[in-house]
Amino acid sequence: MNQSTLHNGFTGYKQNVQEADRIMRERMLQCIKKLHEKNLHCLNEAKSHGKEKLFAEIETMHKRLEKFEQEINKHPVAHFKLEGLDQSDEDKLKMIEEKIERLAQECGDIIDNLSCSQVDMHIIEQYTRIASHLRLAERLYHERMMILKKAMVFG
């Protein structure tokens, strides 16, 4: 398992929550895009080999990854307060963001370990694991946004 690099050089949410949120969303988006590229390669392979069942499974993952990328890319409607976040909230955010990065890496590792010699059922089983990881990553991302809402000013 790779060591988390998501927070390298990151100064935290104390100074400017809006800028910190933008930086972390960009970094998480990079993790998801790497996974999406790997998945796209598998999608093209399945299509070129005429594996329709596998293609359908991978295409579902492709659409899910696109949707998750769009969600991460979305800017918050509200503005952030100037005083930043409490240390406990910042610690929770860091933990959540690292879990999302780790889940994306695990999904990428699963894809990297697939081989053309494996039967379709095994590959579909692995894609089921990836789907489970992505559901958890999406849930964690929503939890992250709920923590950030504490620092938002509406209206």
SS3 label, residue 155: coil
Mean pLDDT within 84-111:
92
The domain spans of the chain are: 17-153
pTM over 0.85: yes
Confidence of residue 139 (pLDDT cuts 50, 70, 90): very high
Burial of 137 (0-12, 13-18, 19+ CB in 10 A): buried
The whole-number pLDDT of residue 17 equals 86
Burial 30-56 (b: 16+ CB within 10 A, else e): ebbeebbebbeebbeebeeeebeebbe
Structural element, H or E, at residue 125: helix 120-149
Question: In angstroms, what CA-CA distances link 2 with 5, 38, 56, 81, 97?
Answer: 9, 17, 30, 35, 15
66 or 83, greater pLDDT: 66
Question: In angstroms, what CA-CA distances link 69 with 8, 32, 127, 139, 147?
Answer: 22, 7, 18, 14, 20
The whole-number pLDDT of residue 129 equals 93
Instruction: Work out the mean pLDDT of the chain and round it to a whole number.
Output: 87
